[in-house]
Structure 1
Amino acid sequence: MSDDEGASNNELLIVAAKQDSEDILEDIFSQPETYDINHVDSVGNTALHYAAQFGSLTAAELLLKQPNIKLDIANKLEGDTPLHKAVQYEDANVSLEIVKLLIEAGADTTKRNKNRQKPEDLVKPDSQQLKTLLQKASMALQVDARDIAAEDSDDDGESASGSD
């Protein structure tokens, strides 16, 4: 790329995520196939990492709506995923909202970074609501469809214990 071309859409994705710029993101997203939603920079962070790290709630919402976005990419430095970054954001309310978005999108709450820490391990002691949310999400990942009793489903009035 020559110097007069400016930033690529992949680079702009990262800038927009850091700045919580809805306009830049919508402009990029209106140009399909000109960007990689999972583009990583030199330290292994994606736009989603930066949206989580900088508390960019609008950017996080827009990024998570994009097809094929990978939620659990670990960066090179700490091995952190976007969820690891989100739990460390200083504003507890914004952190909680971004964590909720990531969990609803399917982020893995049990993934460990290079220090063997799960996102839950990085939560500040005074953020009990966030810790509880992560614990519940981790437990939900451990529950398998086979763990749910058949009697819980609605049937046509037949007894679940029925006779053979």
Structure 2
Amino acid sequence: MADEEGASPRELILEACRRNNTSLLEETIADLAVEAKKKGKKPVAYVAEVLNKSFDGIGNGCLHIAAKYGSYEVLDILLDQEGLEIDELDRMDRDTPLHKAVRYVNSLSKDEWAPVGHPIVDILLDAGCDPRIRNKAKLKPIELVDPRNQELRAILQKGEFAMMAGDDVVVDDDDDPTGSASDSD
């Protein structure tokens, strides 16, 4: 890689995602926070803005790249960043990071699926990535899963169910402090 002083924050972020380099990512995020303060901007919002605008030449965002390369520790740091867009679509296939994670699991040997690949999918689902989103080919992540990988199918089915159940939550108005009770004591 080129001299770090010459690399842009975007380049450093993407490199950290490719190589699961947590120290490079943390250092870059810290530098962005300092830069934000110098510019009179809110650090959290500025960091999120830079992360959300960090794409490679073919339209993969930082989460796409981290998922594509199985960079679990980097994903963990990225997903802790407030304001990060987690269901961004890439430019080529209109894949979400979750689509990329499934493709990553499929690229592994069968004995690596559960210990290496499934945690990548789990962390994205836990962060709220939507497994119901369809890509350019109109496929959801579950439809990309190697048919032999029943455990991953179950993980994604559980994620879809959780999303659907979350959408069906009805807010109960009975706890409203103003209520509909009469004004008499």
Which category of TM-score, normalised to the shorter sequence, fits these structures?
0.7 to 0.9
Aligned to 1:119: 141
Distance 1:4 1:130, change over 3 A: closer
Matches of 2:150 and 2:75, distance apart in 1: 23
Moved over 6 A (4+): none
Gaps of 5+ in 2: 37-45, 173-185
2:169 to 120, 139, 145: 145
Aligned residues: 146
The structural deviation recorded for 1:5 is 5.5
Matches of 1:4 and 1:118, distance apart in 2: 38
The structural deviation recorded for 1:95 is 2.0
* 1:100-157 CA-partner distances (Å, limit 9, x unpaired): 11111100100010000000011111211111011111112112113x9x8xxxxxxx
- What letter corresponds to residue 120 of structure 1 in structure 2? I
Gaps of 5+ in 1: 151-164
Matches of 2:4 and 2:16, distance apart in 1: 20
TM-score, normalized by length of structure 1?
0.82
Once the two structures are aligned, what percentage of the paired residues are identical? 38
2:119 to 94, 97, 121: 97
- What letter corresponds to residue 20 of structure 1 in structure 2? N
RMSD, aligned α-carbons? 2.0
Give matches, 1:12-161, under 5 Å: 12-31=12-31, 32=33, 33=36, 36-38=50-52, 39-89=54-104, 90-91=107-108, 92-93=113-114, 94-143=116-165, 144-146=168-170
TM-score, normalized by length of structure 2?
0.73
Aligned to 2:181: none
Which is richer in helix? 2
2:161 alignment partner, SS class? helix
